[in-house]
Amino acid sequence: MKTYCSAPFRQIYADNASRYRLCCHASKNNDLAKYNTNNTAPFKYFLSEEMEDVRNKLLSGERVQGCEPCYKLEDRGFKSWRQWKYNKIYPMTANVEKVSLKLRILGSYCNLGCYMCHPYNSSTRRVELAKSDIKLTDFTKVQEKQVNISTKRYDETVQDILDNIELVDHMHITGGEPLLLPRMYQMMERIPDEHAKNIQLSFDTNLTELEFKEWNIWQLVDRFKKIALGVSCDHFGDKLSWIRYPIDIHQFEKNLQTAKSIVANVNVTVSLLNINELDEIRDYYKDFNVTFTGIVDNPKILSIRNLPQKLKNEYKEKYKNYEMLIQELDKAVIPGELERGFEYCKKLNTQRNINFDHVFKDLLDKIQNTFTL
């Protein structure tokens, strides 16, 4: 179908700014803006008249407000997230039958401060930016702030999920770092065994810890239909240590091997600091399925779109099979953003016990040499 997307039929998504959105890539839909996790339970939102109107429009081939990120890609001749992602993972349906939950209601505590992460998704990130005297508006136009959900509202939300648990066949758990969030384990404990055995859990995790207090990941493996870990990992060695500071790379690699049987993907988010070595990263984690579908496009100062054109052409040829990466490289350079990106990294480096100029010397030299040729 011309505009059909499975996500509004199969997924309930809410971000750490408390907003319900049609998916994690979607922009604002004015008719849905009145709903958020602090005033509306997830299934009440999902089964609302406004969401029914969205689904009817998609079935009729109409374009829906909020889906512009996909439409813009398609208008440029690229595949969009609805085409290569949602319409692939979810079977086509005209009705609400089985639902996947991706609700950022569990908290934003994270033990890492990844240099490209949105601050409202990581408590460590917010603390580090404050100590570095970096404001959110210094490096991104995104204005959203992390919004806490009250204990009362959280309990009401979990009860709403339990009341509709027969509709749930998948839960995509994210954070913060989900394996370090007490609410995550507490919510899983409340799901009855007869339903848990029919539900698949997918995690976006930094895999720095497999145990937390009295809980561990293997308790979930024993109860649920399937556990799939999407491991966020953007390099190896010292470069990984800087990008995902303050990760303990030895413990991380140990956990990666320990949990190998439930690791679905090693997900590399492509940005300014790892674009030069994607093949090396793939080879380093050769025993795992390595993906490069996550591309930093915001903050724009860390996007590969702003590299010198000679390097962009080189990478387009080198990585020609990575369509999402090519889409970002094809975007126009924003003057001054590359310089701002490195200024930001060096300012952030004041809080990191790693020498940025030394660790990324090869990339810095390559860019400088390109400019001087």
Q: Cα dihedral angle (71, 77, 80, 85), rounded to 10 degrees?
A: 150
**Pair 267, 298 in one domain:** yes
Report which of 244, 252, 301 is spatially closest to residue 268, judged by C-alpha positions.
244
What's the domain count of the chain? 2
Q: How does the average pLDDT of the chain come out, rounded?
A: 93
Domain identity same for 178 and 161: yes
Q: Determine the average pLDDT of the residues in 39-64.
A: 96
Cα-based angle 149, 155, 96 (whole degrees, multiple of 5) = 90
Instruction: Give the separation between CA 119 and CA 144, rounded to whole angstroms.
Output: 9
Residues 181 and 231 in one domain: yes
Answer yes or no: pTM beyond 0.85: yes
Strand, coil or helix: 100? strand
Residues 21 and 135 placed together within one structural domain of the fold: no
Are 136 and 238 members of one domain? Answer: yes
Residue range 181-199: average pLDDT? 96
Q: Which residues contact 112 (CB under 8 A, 6 or more apart)?
A: 122, 124, 125, 177, 206, 208, 244, 245, 246, 247
pLDDT of residue 141: 52
Q: What is the pLDDT of residues 269-323, one digit of tens each?
A: 999 999 999 999 999 999 999 999 999 998 899 999 999 999 999 999 999 999 8
CATH number at residue 139: 3.20.20
Say whether pLDDT at 328 is over 50: yes
Are residues 277 and 146 both part of a single domain? Answer: yes
Residues 85, 10: contact at Cβ < 8 Å? no
User: Which tens digit of pLDDT belongs to each residue from 54-80?
Assistant: 999 999 999 999 999 999 989 988 889
Parent domain of 3: 1-95
**95, 125, 149 - which closes a domain:** 95
Check whether residue 186 and residue 87 sit in a common domain: no
pLDDT of residue 346: 92
One domain for residues 82 and 174: no
Are 140 and 79 in a shared domain?
A: no
Of the candidates 204, 242, 8, the residue with the CA atom closest to the CA atom of residue 115: 242
Instruction: Please say which residue of 95, 123, 156 terminates a domain.
Output: 95
Nearest Cα residue to 32 out of 49, 56, 9: 49
* Cα gap 234→64, rounded to integer Å: 33
